[in-house]
């Protein structure tokens, strides 16, 4: 069982709401867009290859 009186470093004592905050990067939008375009393209290629002519 962990010791309840254990000392934590000062930087480990952030409030819960501050610890949960995240940073939204603008680059993620482009990664998601490229991934979506890649998946749609893969499905189109698979449809063309597999579909009966």
Predicted pLDDT of residue 35: 97
For the chain, 53 residues long, the average pLDDT of each consecutive 10-residue run is 62 64 76 96 95 78
Measured CA distances, 31 to 3, 7, 28, 37 (Å): 44, 41, 5, 10
Instruction: Tell me what pLDDT residue 44 has.
Output: 96
């Amino acid at each position: 069982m962990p010791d309840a009186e254990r000392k934590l470093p000062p930087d480990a004592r952030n409030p819960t709401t501050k610890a949960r905050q995240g940073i939204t990067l603008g680059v993620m939008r482009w990664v998601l867009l490229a991934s979506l375009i890649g998946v749609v393209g893969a499905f189109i290629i698979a449809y063309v290859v597999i579909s009966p002519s």
